[in-house]
Amino acid sequence: MEGAAQWYLADPEATTEWGMALAPCLEAGLVLTFSGDLGAGKTALIRGILRGLGVTGTIRSPTYALLEIYELSRLYCYHFDFYRINNPESLEDSGFRECFRSDSLCFVEWPEKVSAWLPPADLALTLEPVGTGRLLQVRQASAQGMKCLEPLLAPSLPR
């Protein structure tokens, strides 16, 4: 079960808005991966999603901490950044595996760094600079991923 869709995000506000629009479609148990070069907008997009989920305080990039945790009334959110990981074996004793549960929502930047270790994604998002904005490509990699993107695929929404 696979599908793909893309959006052009003209400026940082469009990135935030897209993330906020996705937020209400997300449910516990999903894994979302975010690919793209340094500065592509992965963290910016995840910030939009977290705002849409109701996070009000500072949303830090997990660049150095590897993981930032948000406990919302509805669910636990784990935001990972694996840029600095060079071998997935170093994660074996980290306990990070236990973050991927049916009652949690996981956002993973730099999934390529740990692909041998990472559970399969439901949505695989890729950001790429195009012009002054970003091209966002979203691959729905599971039935749950298909379902949660559905509301954003309505033909009435600008693409």
Q: Is 38 in the site for ligand ATP (CB under 6 A)?
A: yes
- Numbers of helices and strands, H then E, in the chain: 3, 7
Q: Which helix (H) or strand (E) holds 58?
A: none
Token pair listed for 5 = 């869709």
Beta strands in 10-132 (DSSP E): 31-35, 67-71, 76-81, 104-109, 123-130
Q: Is 48 in the site for ligand ATP (CB under 6 A)?
A: no
Q: Is 134 in the site for Mg ion (CB under 5 A)?
A: no
Residues 88 and 19: their CA atoms lie apart, in Å, by 28
Q: Which of 16, 33, 35, 43: binder of Mg ion (CB under 5 A)?
A: 43
Interaction pattern, residues 99-138, with ligand ATP; x per rule: CB under 6 A:
----------x-----------------------xx----
Name the site residues for Mg ion (rule: CB under 5 A). Answer: 42-43, 61, 109
Chain residues binding ligand ATP by CB under 6 A are: 9, 11-12, 14-15, 36, 38-44, 61, 63, 81, 83, 109, 133-134
